[in-house]
Each structure stands twice: as structure tokens, then as C-alpha cells.
Structure 1
Amino acid sequence: MTSFYLTVAIKLALGLISLVFVINLTGKGNLAPSSATDQVQNFVLGGIIGGTIYSSNVSILQYFVILIIWTILILLLKWLNTNIRFIKHLIDGKPTVIIKHGQLDPEACRSKGLSASDVALKLRSQGIFQLKEVKRAVIEQNGQLIVVRAGDENPKYPIVTDGVVQLEILDSIGKSEAWLNDELTKMGYDNISDIFIAEYDKGNINVVTY
């Protein structure tokens, strides 16, 4: 009996160490999951620990190897998600504009699995009861609804993120990609892929490079 509890304690300790190790290497995203990747790694680790710590058929060595494999897969997925745009969009998706200038886009809502009732509920939770009160609404990767109210002062729009031009945001502020390229060139930025984030704020562009 004593050996059973000792084995469980060792497995729990190894699981905790693995979790802390991965969090420190990949960032704190899985503490407050904002993407599918963050959610999945939490679920998988919970399944690994819950399914093996009480099983006498899985030795401590086997459990340790499983945790190593899990850690390697998570780090690989994180690297792919950060460095390959296609993989990031495939796994985590991308923000979707569902309301533009007070006009709801039913197709965009359906692509996110939202019914009219879902959208209305999300708007009411932010104190909005009419579509005409909304200038722009975006469903983020984690399902959160971000709303800019009609009449509000324009927020800082991220027109470039991770070296990628955000065409939908450019369109929402009445600008084109050609305009953006010209402005960045004037500022001395010839390669958009070198830009970590660029924000449009009251006619000015604020740039942060890698």
C-alpha cells in the first residue's frame, strides 16, 4: 500500500515539473488560454496525468517517457504555430469580423458557429441592444467578442501582426495595402516580415520590429 502512494506521489511530482517546465518555455498562455493550442495542451496533460497516476500497469519510467514525448510535441507545436503562418491559422484560426458599420455578416457568424441568438447575447453582455450601436465587432480566436461602438474614438488598430498585413482592418479604416507599403517605406521599413506589430493610431503608424 505504501509503495502505491509513493508511486502516485512521484507521478504527480513529475507531472507538476513537466507542466511548470513547459509553461516557462512557452509562456503563460496556457494559464489563461487564448487559443486552441493552449486549451489542447491543458486537456492532454490532464488526460495523461489522470489516466496514468493510478494505473499500476504504467511504471514511473514509462510515465516519465510519456511526459517527455508530450513536452516535445507541445514545444514543436508551439514553434510551428509561431513560425509558420499557415499552421497558426489552421490550428488557432484567425479573428473574424462579424459586424462592420452596423451591418451584421451572417456568413461570418455561421463560419464561427454563432447563431443570431448567440450574437445578440454577446452584445447584450456588453450593454449593446441594437446593431446600429456597433461600428465594428470581431470574434477573436478564443471566442471573445471585441466591440467598437459607433461614435467611439478610433482605437489603435493592429494593421500588421507577426509580419502579416491585416487587410480586413485596413479596409475598415479606409486604407489599402499599397498605402501601407508606401507609409512604411517612408518610415524606413522595407520588409513587412520584419515587423512584429504595427498600429494605426489617429493617422500615425507605430511600429515594433523583431
Structure 2
Amino acid sequence: MEHLELLLRTIFLYLVILITFRLMGKREIGELSVLDLVVFIMLAEIASMAIENTADSIFHSLIPMLGLVGIQIVFAYVSLKSKWFRDLIDGRPTIIINKGNIDEKAMKKQRYNFDDLLVQLREKDIRNISDVEFAILETSGKLSVFKKEPKGNGKRDHSKGDITMPLIIDGNIQEENLRRINKSKDWLLEELNKKGDLQVKDISFCSYDQGKMYVDINNK
């Protein structure tokens, strides 16, 4: 009888966690945010204790599990609406290699060493750092790499910009990225005005690359 109870508890909690993960949305394991990871670990620990402690009612474990799911859903919703909150929870991408030059200060800030860099470059079949134009450490811990292009291939004009830069996210101007492309807030507002007197607060995403601006209006 005891073994049957353990089996039923395991099946029940398996279904609860399966439904919970579905509610939390689709995301690859390597792209989990810190918030997702904490919730997953805590759910696993609570489920483990609920299976082992057969003397306690299994429904006592559902209360903290449902509480964690509620917190995660609320935080995920706030994260969708607030860039500031998203940066606070998930952090921001960090440029590790910028125009072929390694940014040691950025690496130190992220507690990211050269062994980490070389390992992730090898995973992308890059043997030499000198072949890299840009390397960006994403919030998921993955490294996005842009190789240097052979001179004279005519693919990119570096005088117009080096990499796609988000200038507006969720109605907020990314002033740090404006400085990276040597542009001002006044320039951005003037460019938006040329596109039909667009208001910053109405723009969900705006990026700039190779002298071209992409603008997406919030459709909510």
C-alpha cells in the first residue's frame, strides 16, 4: 500500500509540474532566466519532499507550488511590460569583443574569463579570436559571435554602423546604444519625425543598422 501511495504521489506531482511548466511558457533550458531557474529548482525540491513525506497531505505541498507559479506568472507579465524590470531580473547582453578588440572590463564585470571565451568560440568552430568582429554574451549565458568579413566583399559598410543596435525598446530610448553609434536623442526624434511624426511611447521596437532604421509600432 505504501508503494502504491508513492507511485500515485509521483504521478500526481509529475502532472502538476508538467502543467506548471506549460503555464510558464515555452523556453529552451539554455535560455531560462534567473527567475525561471529559481522557480524550477524550488518546485523540484517541494515535489521531492512531497513524495517522500507520505505522512503529510500532498495538498499541503500544492499551496507553495501554486504560490511560486503565481509569482512567476506575475513577474513574467511585469517583465514584458517593463524594460527596467526585465534588465533587473535577467540582466543585459554584454559586448565582450567590440570591433575586434576584447573588452576586459566587461569580462571582469560579468566574471567571465578567457577560458570561458575560448570554449564558447570553439563551440562555434572559431579557432582564432582575431577572426571575430563582435562577440556578445547574452543574458542566457550564450555567446553570439559575428565574424570579420573579408575586405572588399561589399557586404557591409562599416562607416554606417557595425552591428544592429536597438534604439527604442517598449517605448524607452536606449541612450547607451545611441552613444555607441555616435548619435543623439535629438537625431533619433528627427528621424522618427521623418517617418510620420512617430511618438517614442508608441514604439515597441526600433533598431538601427547600416544607416537603415527599423520601427515597429506597438499594436496593443
Under a length normalisation based on structure 1, what TM-score does the superposition of the two structures give?
Answer: 0.81
Give, in whole Å, the separation in 2 of the partners of 1:206 and 1:52: 51
SS at match of 2:61: helix
Q: In the alignment, which of 76, 79, 83 is matched to residue 77 of structure 2? A: 79
Structure 2 contact 207–214 (Cα < 8 Å) conserved: yes
The match for 2:195 is 187
Distance 2:119 2:41 in 1: 28
Q: Aligned partners of 1:159 and 1:173: how far apart in 2?
A: 10
Residue pair 1:123, 1:129 contacting (<8 A) in 2 also: yes
Mapping for residues 87-166 of structure 1, pairs under 5 Å: 87-151=85-149, 153=156, 156-166=164-174
Report which stretch shifted further, 139-148 or 65-74.
65-74
Secondary structure (helix, strand or coil) at the match of 2:88 reads: helix
Aligned residue for 1:28, secondary structure, equals: coil
Q: Secondary structure at 2:52's aligned position in 1?
A: coil
Q: CA deviation at 1:139?
A: 0.7
1:143 Cα shift? Answer: 0.8
In the alignment, the residues of structure 2 paired with residue 189 and residue 50 of structure 1 have an alpha-carbon distance, to the nearest angstrom, of 57
What TM-score does the superposition give when structure 2 sets the normalisation length? 0.78
Listed one character per residue, the Cα deviations across residues 71-125 of structure 1 (whole Å, up to 9, x for unaligned) are 2121222233233333322221111112111111111001111112222222233
Which 5+ residue runs of structure 1 have no aligned equivalent?
none
Counterpart code for 1:77 = F
Partner of residue 159, structure 2: none
Q: Label 1:125 to 1:177 Cα distance change in 2 as closer, same or farther (>3 A).
A: farther
Distance of 1:112 and 1:5 partners within structure 2: 49
| 1:208 equivalent in alignment to 2:216 | yes
Please provide the CA RMSD for this pair.
Answer: 2.8
Q: Do the aligned residues in 2 keep the contact of 1:101 with 1:135 (CA within 8 Å)?
A: yes
Post-superposition shift, 1:62? 0.8
Equivalent in 58, 63, 70 of residue 56 of structure 2: 58
Give the structure 1 partner of residue 152 of structure 2. Answer: none
Deviation of 1:7 after TM superposition, in Å, equals 6.1
Structure 1 vs Structure 2: percent identity of aligned residues?
A: 27
AA paired with 1:17? V
The answer for the alignment partner of 2:25 in structure 1 is 27
Q: Structure 1 residues 86, 198: closer, same or farther in 2, change over 3 A?
A: closer
Residue 66 (structure 2) aligned to one of 57, 68, 79: 68
Q: Structure 1 residues 84, 159: closer, same or farther in 2, change over 3 A?
A: closer
Number of residues paired by the alignment? 208
Q: Distance in 2 between the 1:54 and 1:132 partners?
A: 54
After TM superposition, give the deviation of residue 11 of structure 1 in Å: 5.8
How far residue 47 of structure 1 moved from its aligned partner, in angstroms, is 1.5
* Pair 1:198 & 2:196 matched: no
